[in-house]
Amino acid sequence: MSAQDFAASVFGQVPGLLFVDHIAIAVLPGELEGQVAAYTALGFRELHREEMGGRDQVREVLLQIGNSPNLIQLLEPTSPDSPAQKQIDRNGGRGGVAHVGFRVKNAQAAFDWFRENGFRVVDEAPRTGSRGTTVFFIHPKSKDDSPFGILYEIVAEPNDPQNLPAPLLQRVQP
């Protein structure tokens, strides 16, 4: 099976898959503002800015062009242990594509589907991402017969209680 056929067969079956949410780009420490300025000069506008601790350890800026739902996510590592910094290190000290994010209706349903279908899911469960979204990651070498070769993030919007990670869902239910 070709990589194209494999991707079409997989992503056509993921429950609630909507569209490509974002392309994440790791930028070198100290270069975030210059990258934001460059994208702004191209016509992008800044939608969101957040510093994330925990396992992510990045400063994030989300950029949009026009009314497209497809975003550019710039990730500047704040620690040598940041996954974004590790991506930069693997890339010879240069920034570059860190992952591609796909939007889904329900993170838990998508998570269960990937697990049930033998994919290597990086996270133990869906977790809180930036902007209050619910996210989890699919490993680049997820399937032995046809690996993706790139990290994928699955993203669900925060406005649906079904998309809250289990610990948060328990806190908001009576």
CATH value at residue 53: 3.10.180.10
Domain assignment of residue 52, yes or no: yes
Domain assignment of residue 148, yes or no: yes
What value does the mean pLDDT take over residues 26-55?
95
- In the structure encoding, which two tokens stand for residue 83, read together? 């996954």
Domain assignment of residue 152, yes or no: yes
Q: What domain range includes position 29? A: 18-102+110-132+140-167
Domain assignment of residue 46, yes or no: yes
For residue 153, the 8-state DSSP code is E
- In the structure encoding, which two tokens stand for residue 40, read together? 């702004």
Number of domains comprising the chain: 1
Domain assignment of residue 2, yes or no: no
Task: Report pTM.
Answer: 0.81
Domain assignment of residue 174, yes or no: no
Answer yes or no: is pLDDT of 166 > 60.
no
Report the C-alpha gap between 42 and 48 in whole angstroms: 17
Report the C-alpha gap between 91 and 109 in whole angstroms: 33
Contact 123, 137 (CB under 8 A): yes
Q: What share of the chain is helix, strand, coil (3-state, %, to 5)?
A: 30, 30, 40
Domain assignment of residue 31, yes or no: yes
Answer yes or no: is pLDDT of 95 > 80.
yes
- In 55-168 the beta strands, taken as DSSP E runs, fall at 58-64, 71-77, 96-104, 127-128, 134-138, 152-156
